[in-house]
Chains A and B, each alone.
Chain A
Amino acid sequence: MIFSEADLAAIGLTLRLATTVTVLLLLIGTPIAWWLARTQSWWKGPVSALVALPLVLPPTVIGFYLLLAMGPQGFIGQLTQQLGLNTLPFTFWGLVVASLFYSMPFVIQPIQNAIEALGRRPLEVAATLRAGPWECFFTVVLPLAKPGFMTAAVLGFAHTVGEFGVVLMIGGNIPGETRVVSVQIYDYVEALQYGQAHTLAGAMIAFSFLVLLALYGFQRRQAALGMKYGL
C-alpha cells in the first residue's frame, strides 16, 4: 500500500467534502444561475460580481471573513448557536460552508452560460406543448443544458478537492475532521517528508488530469452528437 492510514483518511475526507459541496452547490447554484441567465434586473451586475469574487480574492481573505462570520459573534455563528448547534469553524460542516462560497463560481457560471445559450425558444416551445415551468426544467432545460451541468459538477468537485487556503483558515488541521489531502501534503512538506508528499501530490495531479480529460472528452462527444442548441 503506497498510502498511509492518515493519507487514506485525508483522501476519504476530501472526497466526502467535495461530493457534499458539489451536490449542495448544484441545488443552490442552479436557481441562482437560472435567475442570472434570465433576469433583466438591475441586480444582475452586483450579484454576478459577488458570485465571481472567489475567482479573484486570495483564499485567505474569504477564509478570514468566513471565520469571523462563523465565529461566536458572527451572523452565521449566531444562527448555528440559536439552532442549538456549535459554531462551525474547525468542523467538517464549517469546511462545507466555506467551500460552498469558494467553489460557487465554478458551478454557477457554466450552468448560467448553458441556460443563456439555450435562449428562450425551447422554453416557449415547451410551454406551447403544455409543459409547466417545473416540467419544462426537467424535460427540456436539464437535458439540453446537460453539458453545462456536467462541467459545473466536475469543476465544482475538482476545485473543492484542490482547495487549501480556505481550509487552513476555517478548518485548521484536525485529522479525520478537517485534514484534507492538500493540508496533508503541506504537513509532509513542512516535516520534510518529501517521499510521502510526492505520492499524494502525484496522485492529485493524476486525478485532476483524468477528471479534466473525461470532461473535455464528454464535451467533444456532445458536440459530435450534434447537441447544438436551438435546432
Chain B
Amino acid sequence: MQGNVHTHASTIQAHFSLHYADTAATGFNLDVNLTMPGTGITAIFGHSGSGKTTFLRCIAGLEKPQQGYLIVNGALWQNSATFLPTHQRPLGYVFQEASLFAHLTAKGNLAYAIKRSDKPYASELYEQVIATMDIDSILTRYPHQLSGGERQRVAIARALLIQPRILLMDEPLASLDSTRKQEILPYLERLRSTVDIPILYVSHSLDEVTRLADAIVVLDQGRVTAQGSLAEVLSRIDLPINNTEHAGVILSAKIVERDSQWQLARLAFSTGDIWVNDSGDELGQTVRVRILARDVSLALAPHSDSSILNQLSVNIAAIAADDDQSMARIQLVFGNDYIVARLTQKSVYQLQLKPGMNIWAYIKSAAIVR
C-alpha cells in the first residue's frame, strides 16, 4: 500500500473504478487514480469514448463507481463509507449541451441557482458574472428564444452563481459550430482570470485545451495515459496526442519590451527570448505563447541573413518517430522550457541530429494565446 499519502488542502484526489456489467456493450471501464491541482484550469483530454465525461460525472456524483475515493481541496466527497449525493456537493456543472430549464427564463434559471447558492447572495458577484458572460440583454428570454451560444453562456453563469468550490465543465463548446465556439472561447478565457476556484474542463479539442488549461490529464480507454502541467505534457514527444499536424507547445514568458514601430513584443524565457506580434498586453506581464512543432526548424549555426526573427540556442533532448514515416519529432530544451520541432527524417539524417547536441532552433511563427 501507499505509505505517506498527505491530504494537501489544495488538491483534488480522485480514485475511481467503474465497471459496467455489460462491458462489451458500453465499451470500457473507468480506472483512474489521480491527484490534480486544486487551482486553475485542468483539462481532461481524450477522444470520444475515452471516459472523460464519465470521469467528470463520477466527480459530480452523477455516476456511482463501484470503488471511489474523492477529496476536493480537503473535503471528503466519497470513500468506501461515504457517498455525498450530487445535490450536497458544492460544485457547479456545465453540461455539454445547454441544459437550461425550459420553463424558466434566463433570469429565472439564474435565480434558481442564486436561491440555492452555497454562500449568501452578493449583488457584486451577480453583476460581475452577468458582465463576464455578457448576458444582460437576454435575461428576459426563454431558452428556446436563445441561440446555442447564448444558452451556454447563461448555463455557465448559472453554474457560477451557485458559488461552487469547483467548476466542472463537460465539453461546453462541443455542441456549437465553430463560429459560436470562437464566440464563447473569450468568455471562458475571461473565466480563468476572474474565478478563483479550480475548473475541470473536459474536451477533445487540443486547440481549446491549449488556450484554456494550466494542467492536463490525458485519458484513453478509461485510463490515464499522461498527466502534468500543460507545458510539460504538450512537450512530450512520446504521446500520441502530440502526434498531429497541430501539435505544439505552450510556454510562459514575460513581456520585457514592446516595439511600437514594428508592433512587436519581446518575450523572455528562462534563457533566450523571441519577438511576437504585440498583443497589447502590459510590459512585465506573463503571457502564454504557443509554438507549433511544424513552425520550428533547426540549423547547425546561427543565421543573420534569414527572414526569421527568432532563433534560440537549444539542446536536443530526444528524437522520436512520427506517425508519418517521413517525419520525426525532436524535443528541444532551453533553460527550463521545452519546444518540439517536426522535421523530415531526411533533415534529421543530413544534419546528423542526436540527443545531447547543441543546435539553433528557428521559430517561424509564435503567437500569444490567452
Contacts and interface: CB of A to CB of B under 8 A. Distances in A.
B254 interface: no
Given A125-B95, A226-B144, A131 B87 contact: yes
Contacts of B92: 128
Interface in B131-175: 142-145, 151, 158-159, 162
Contact of A121 (B95, B151, B159): B95
A136 B101 CA distance: 12
Given A144-B101, A144-B103, A129 B116 contact: yes
A102 B113 CA distance: 42
A127 B85 contact: yes
B314 interface: no
A228 interface: yes
B357 interface: no
A128 B102 contact: no
A58 interface: no
B276 interface: no
Interface residues of B, number: 31
Interface in A115-138: 121-122, 124-133, 136
Contact of B102 (A129, A130, A131, A231): A231
A15 B98 CA distance: 44
Q: Is the interface of A mostly helix, strand, loop or mixed?
A: helix
A231 B112 contact: no
B320 to A, nearest CB: 42
Contact of A130 (B60, B62, B116): B116
Nearest to A144: B103
Nearest to A143: B103
B144 A130 contact: no
B99 interface: yes
Interface in B54-91: 60-62, 85-88, 91
A9 interface: no
Interface of B: 60-62, 85-88, 91-93, 95, 97-103, 112-113, 116-118, 142-145, 151, 158-159, 162
Given A125-B93, A130-B118, A136-B87, 7 more contacts: A121-B99, A127-B62, A127-B86, A128-B60, A130-B116, A144-B101, A229-B102
Smallest CB-CB A-B distances: 8 pairs? A226-B144, A128-B93, A127-B86, A130-B116, A231-B143, A143-B103, A231-B102, A127-B87
